[in-house]
Amino acid sequence: MFLVASLIVNGIILGLIYATIALGFSLVLGVSGVLNFAHGILFALGAYMYWVLKDLMGFWPAMVGAALIVGVIGIIVERVLVRRIYGEDPLFGLVITMGFAMAVEQVLHMIFGAAAKTINPPEFAQGVLFIGDMIIPYYRLFVAGFCTVILGGTWLALNNTSFGAIVRAGMYDSEMVSALGHDLPMLRTIVFTIGTMIAAISGVLASSIWSLKPGMGAAFLMPSFLVVLIGGLGSIRGTILGGLIIGLTTSLMSLVIPRFVDIMPYVIMAVVVYFWPRGLLGKQNILE
Amino acid sequence: MQIKSITRDPYLYIFLIFALYPFYPFLGKFISLGSELLLFFIFTLSFNLCLGYTALPSFGHGALYGMGTFGAALTFLHLTPGMGIECALIIGGIAGMLGAAAVGWVIRNKKGIYFAMLTVAFSQVLFGLCWRWDEVTGGESGLTGIARSSFLGMDISGSIPYYYLCFGFFAACAIIIRVIAHSSFGMTLQSIRQNPIRATYLGYNTGFYKFLVFTLSGFFAGLAGALYCFLAGAAFADIFDWTKSGDVVIATLLGGGTASFYGPIVGSLIFLICKELISAFWEHWLLAYGLFFVLIILICPRGLMGLCDRKEQ
């Protein structure tokens, strides 16, 4: 009983992390129509920047620093690479971001080596919480809370600010947004940068739960795909739902069929895509 | 008129160049590279039926190729041990076709980016399955010890006979794919690429056509994969990795598959040779490989053939 309960709690925490990583990916896909394969590597860059900065300045400044550095890289990537392929064949965006991701992964290899690095959680979140036989590290609770704040904050910003309204309109019909006099290229740059910074912050949070490897970006890219396909595009609630479904599936299925646990989210994705072509909570968007 | 049209056909020159490959002074020594090139040509031509003719941005073709490889390897090892490879090749092609049909049916009506995302996601399923299901696929160590024996009674264990077997398959596939592309079916596909809405209003069931072409393309990809398994003598799970799908996409784009029929062949020739050269000399060749992807999209997204051949525009 406690085993199932702890798997559920872990699944929810995992799901919130997946949803946070997928948030930036989904926003960029919605507003710019680009499948950003570089999202995973920007997440990994965030984690590595944190590893470099944390001993110099401590947890919070290092997190802000990592987010800012990776945000600047995001602006450069958007301005130099991704901008050229707006409105082109979707494979162009996919190939160019994938090429960038592979190149940066090799650079990480060259600088930091292939060996995995572990990072201890910050001091204020060390230790574990006991509930009966259930053990939950405080750090995981902190990460879950922080992810909830990011997701909730983005949801509020999208629904209650005028900038959020423009972003939502951009997902629905970007040409019309442009025709109404809003600076669409700027909007896309801003959304890309915000998405990148959220990815970097998730990288910082995830770095103390899993270890740091150059390939970690690629490993967390696929869950973002699944979150968007299951939850649907253009809806934050869909992203959270998608993340929770994947987190809980991965966690609970490890009890039932431990070997094929990585495949189960894909099976759910196939079922969802067959019956709900836009994903569970997806809205009509520029990709249709 | 007939002779003129044949001598002007770029195919003739491609066939002539590769017919004599094993006897070239320097390249002749790298005979398995030659066979690999031919198989990759089949693979890119099959992919180009999707991307170039129908504008289906498939990013999971590597998985179809891998299904062919594993289909053939498993058939050869378990169903027809010690016999010729004919049966294994056919089953490899059919495995690719069935995989494409299953995925294609689910995603036949998806557009552009969704199509690409779904092909990526489905190819990841096979990757995971292949790694985990190790009593069948061998998991991390793969399936080894596939010694090719004979094809229709001919001994093909040497590298030159196998090269000519690949050449025969390449020539046959290239001709069949071109016949398909220039048939009324191919014309329908091109109309779907140019204006899917108009094609629908003209009464074509565009979803069904996309499903058909994806399935057909899966057959040729699977066949190329099956031939590859006998070339390498083994089947490993990394064949399902997305870099395989990336290779075929970039080779087609580099050659300009969207603008010309034989572009993918030129593209794969340049791409594979560059890849072999760089990976032989530099440990961090993936850095150059990634930058190569970026540069191709930035400099010539329409491909090399797109630069010289502008009749489509």
Give the model confidence (pLDDT) of B266-298 as tens digits. 888 888 888 888 888 887 888 888 888 888 888
Backbone angles phi, psi at B282, to 5 degrees: -135, 125
Given this model, what pLDDT does residue B310 score?
46
The topology (CATH level 3) of B2-308 is ABC transporter involved in vitamin B12 uptake, BtuC (1.10.3470)
- Nearest residue on chain B to A104, alpha-carbon basis: B287
pLDDT band, residue B311 (cuts 50/70/90)? very low
Of B170, B237, B111, whose CA–CA distance to A287 is shortest? B111
Give the residue, B256 or A257, on which the prediction is more confident.
Answer: A257
Residue B259 clears pLDDT 70, i.e. is over it = no
The answer to whether A249 touches A265, Cβ cutoff 8 Å, is yes
- Compute CA B261 distance to the chain's CA centroid, rounded to the nearest angstrom: 14
Q: Three-class SS of residue A128? A: strand
3-state helix, strand, coil in chain A (%, to 5): 75, 5, 20
Residue ranges per domain, chain B? 2-308
Position B308 scores a pLDDT of 55
B58-91 b/e (C-beta count within 10 Å ≥ 16 → b): bbbbbbbbbbbbbbbbbbbbeeeeeebbeebbbb
A67 located within any domain = yes
Residue A288, domain member (yes or no): no
Spatial separation of the C-alpha atoms in residues B197 and B205, rounded to whole Å: 11
Q: Is the pLDDT of residue B3 over 70?
A: no
CATH of the domain at A232: 1.10.3470
B297 and A92 in contact by Cβ < 8 A? yes
Chain A residues whose CB is inside 8 A of the B294 CB are 81, 96, 99-100, 103
How far is the alpha carbon of B160 from chain A, nearest alpha carbon, in Å? 36
Give the mean pLDDT of B91-115. 88
Count the alpha carbons within 13 Å of B124 in the hemisphere toward its beta carbon. Answer: 22
Is B185 touching A (CB cutoff 8 A)?
A: no
Across chain A, mean pLDDT equals 88
Q: What percent of chain A has pLDDT over 90?
A: 36
Q: Which two tokens stand for residue A163?
A: 């900038």
Nearest chain A Cα to B300, which residue?
Answer: A92
Question: What is the spatial distance between Cα B299 and Cα B296, in angstroms, rounded to a whole number?
Answer: 5
Residue A197 lies in a domain: yes
Tens-digit pLDDT profile for residues A66-123: 999 999 999 999 998 888 888 777 788 888 898 999 899 999 989 988 888 888 888 8
pLDDT at B264 over 60: yes
* B313: pLDDT strictly greater than 50: no
pTM listed for this prediction: 0.86
Whether the predicted pLDDT of B113 surpasses 90:
no
Q: Looking at residue A17, what is its pLDDT?
A: 92
pLDDT bin (cut points 50, 70, 90) of residue B51 is confident
Beta carbons of A102 and B125 less than 8 Å apart: no
Q: Which of B103, B129, B278, B236 is nearest to A263 (CA)?
A: B129
Cross-chain CB nearest to B117 (options A35, A102, A107): A35
Q: What is the pLDDT of residue B4?
A: 67
- CA of B136 to nearest chain A CA: how many angstroms apart? 14
Closest CA to B91 of B239, B278, B227: B227
Place of tokens 């062919």: B68
B102 touches chain A (CB under 8 A): no
Q: What is the domain count for chain A?
A: 1
A284 in any annotated domain: no
Pair B51, B255: CB distance under 8 Å: no
Neighbours of A97 (CB within 10 A): 27
The shortest CB-CB distance from B284 to any of A81, A94, A106 is to: A106
**Domain containing residue A119:** 2-275
For the beta carbon of residue B303, count every other beta carbon within 10 angstroms.
25
